[in-house]
């Protein structure tokens, strides 16, 4: 009986997740969304669309860097996440990290644009079992920090 309850709960969770965000083909995406995406990112590859309610999310690569964009039902970009190289990071953030975390190495950087504000999520590694994930404002203020 206990096993049945666990399986039932697991199935319900999977069904809920499937309902919340569904992968869709590019044919099911409004044409202006795909055209707009390719106008801004003409070299986008591995394009995958999802639909959640009336909103859309697209995952794609530019070069070897992963990007994610959320569109509202009107086609407006409401959030953009993209992996960037360390050389693309603002110089002030690199200096702050070097000063405050001298024994850590920058593992990855993600730029996040939402509501006209850009933040940077940085993963720092010290050793194989010690890492940090820190979200910075563009002026270097720590907005969120957690150990991974």
Check which CATH number belongs to the domain holding 91 and give it: 3.10.450.360
The whole-number average pLDDT for the span 134-146 is 96
- Say if residue 107's pLDDT is above 70: yes
Q: Quote the pLDDT of residue 139.
A: 93
Residue with tokens 């919340």: 20
pLDDT class of 136 with cuts at 50, 70, 90: very high
Question: pLDDT (tens digit, 9 = 90+) per residue, 1-48?
Answer: 555 454 545 444 444 444 457 899 888 888 888 888 889 999 999 999
| End-to-end Cα distance, the chain | 36
- Element at 22 (helix H, strand E): strand 22-24
Per-residue model confidence (pLDDT) at position 78: 93
Collapsed DSSP state (helix, strand, coil) of residue 50: strand
Count of domains forming the chain:
1
- On the question of pLDDT at 117 being above 70, the answer is yes
| Residues of the domain holding 86 | 2-147
pTM, 2 dp: 0.78
């Amino acid at each position: 009986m206990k096993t049945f309850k666990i399986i039932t709960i697991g199935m319900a969770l999977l069904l809920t997740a499937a309902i919340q965000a569904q992968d869709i083909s590019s044919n099911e995406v409004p044409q202006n969304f795909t055209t707009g995406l390719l106008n801004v990112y003409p070299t986008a590859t591995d394009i995958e669309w999802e639909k959640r309610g009336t909103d859309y999310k697209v995952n794609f690569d530019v070069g070897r860097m992963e990007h994610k964009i959320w569109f509202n039902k009107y086609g407006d970009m409401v959030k953009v996440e993209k992996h960037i190289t360390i050389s693309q990071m603002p110089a002030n953030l690199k200096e702050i990290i070097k000063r405050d975390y001298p024994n850590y190495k920058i593992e990855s950087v993600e730029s996040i644009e939402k509501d006209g504000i850009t933040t940077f999520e940085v993963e720092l590694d010290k050793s194989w079992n010690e890492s940090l994930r820190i979200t910075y404002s563009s002026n270097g203020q720590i907005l969120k920090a957690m150990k991974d």
